Amino acid sequence: MAANGARFHIAELGEGPLVLLLHGFPQFWWTWRHQLTALADAGFRAVAMDLRGVGGSDRTPRGYDPANLALDITGVIRSLGEPDAALVGHDMGGYLAWTAAVMRPKLVRRLVVSSMPHPRRWRSSMLSDFAQSRAGSYIWGFQRPWVPERQLVADDAALVGRLIHEWAGPRTPDFPDDATVEVYRRAMCIPSTAHCSIEPYRWMVRSLARPDGIQFNRRMKLPVRVPTLHLHGSLDPAIRTRSAAGSGEYVEAPYRWRLFDGLGHFPHEEDPAGFSAELISWLKDSEPDR
């Protein structure tokens, strides 16, 4: 799938209104395997894409700032031949979904974000909330050159497995199992994936005081004007509930906040049935502001 000067790998299932699923770190399209089936069964065209530099998508030397990554997403919508899509983003995919909804509102029919605050909320929390800054310490660690890449792929990407275990909630002992962790570890070991996965986080921090970062932050003042569903695990150790919960102030449209009790950073995998039911019910709701 060609878009925005690169080629993107997608997984597709079903027919109907387009729902585009955006993965987070340290994962790839496969994280949405449960939702692809559930959405297709519910009458949607479900598409999960690999973000730039991850999975089967192109690993370009540059283009990992959120504005460009958001154009990747909206470009894929156009390449799929659809007038718009409901965007569903988790973690970094959620950050980019927020961005796409602001930058290309005509291409975003509805917005669903899981485990990620609005970019302006993320910025303020990381800079002013010590607890969130400590929870996101891995992002500060990513700012070092080359060392984080080596750490991610060392011992067959053992760190990926540790992060997924640490960020998952205690209520779901079945996630992650060894087979799931192995899939994500293998994906991170594909050459250049570690570097490309880290680059967006490097931009997010290094641009804080640069003109491009300041301009992006100002641009994100524009309100989201599409119905928005915001999902979060109550025990998410990577993104604190308090950091995410204030994001509604940036939405001038129906906004629904849903907290999954006892779940961690991966609610769509920790409780796939519950997450999918919430998602599909909201996507089918003709009056999401009720």
Q: Which of 275, 231, 233 is nearest to 257 (CA)?
A: 231
pLDDT, tens digit, 9 for 90 and up, residues 135-189: 999 999 999 999 999 999 999 999 999 999 999 998 778 899 999 999 999 999 9
User: Strand 228-233 to strand 108-114: parallel, antiparallel, or no bridges (unpaired)?
Assistant: parallel
Q: Is the predicted pLDDT of residue 103 greater than 60, yes or no?
A: yes
Residue 234 CA neighbour count, 13 Å, CB half: 8
Classify 65 as helix, strand or coil.
coil
* pTM tops 0.85: yes
- Distance between terminal CA atoms of the chain? 37
pLDDT, tens digit, 9 for 90 and up, residues 196-253: 999 999 999 999 999 999 999 999 999 999 999 999 999 999 999 999 999 999 999 9
- How confident is the model at residue 131, as a pLDDT? 95
- How confident is the model at residue 172, as a pLDDT? 79
- Percentage of the chain with pLDDT > 70? 99
- How confident is the model at residue 84, as a pLDDT? 98
Neighbours of 280 (CB within 10 A): 18
Q: Is the predicted pLDDT of residue 290 greater than 70, yes or no?
A: no
- How confident is the model at residue 284, as a pLDDT? 96
Q: Which fold has domain 2-284?
A: Rossmann fold (3.40.50)
> Would you say 26 and 59 are in contact if contact means Cβ atoms under 8 Å apart?
no
For residue 289, the 8-state DSSP code is: T
- How confident is the model at residue 170, as a pLDDT? 87
Classify 265 as helix, strand or coil.
coil
- How confident is the model at residue 288, as a pLDDT? 77
Neighbours of 60 (CB within 10 A): 18
> Would you say 89 and 114 are in contact if contact means Cβ atoms under 8 Å apart?
yes
Range 252-268 average pLDDT? 97
Range 28-39 average pLDDT? 98
pLDDT, tens digit, 9 for 90 and up, residues 57-81: 999 999 999 999 999 999 999 999 9
Per-residue confidence band for 93, with pLDDT thresholds at 50, 70 and 90: very high
Residue with tokens 């509930």: 241
> Would you say 16 and 253 are in contact if contact means Cβ atoms under 8 Å apart?
no
Q: Environment class of residue 102 by beta-carbon count within 10 Å: exposed (0-12), middle (13-18) or buried (19+)?
A: buried
Classify 6 as helix, strand or coil.
strand
Query: Can you list the alpha helix ranges (DSSP code H) found in 234-271?
Result: 241-245, 267-270
- How confident is the model at residue 46, as a pLDDT? 98
Beta-bridged to residue 228, according to DSSP, are 111, 255
The whole-angstrom separation of Cα 263 and Cα 234 is 6
Q: Which amino acid is at 223?
A: P
The whole-angstrom separation of Cα 112 and Cα 114 is 7
Mean pLDDT, the chain, integer:
96
- How confident is the model at residue 143, as a pLDDT? 96
Classify 246 as helix, strand or coil.
helix
Indicate the length of the chain as a whole number: 290
The whole-angstrom separation of Cα 271 and Cα 238 is 18
The whole-angstrom separation of Cα 42 and Cα 36 is 10
The whole-angstrom separation of Cα 134 and Cα 147 is 20
> Would you say 107 and 78 are in contact if contact means Cβ atoms under 8 Å apart?
yes
- Percentage of the chain with pLDDT > 90? 97
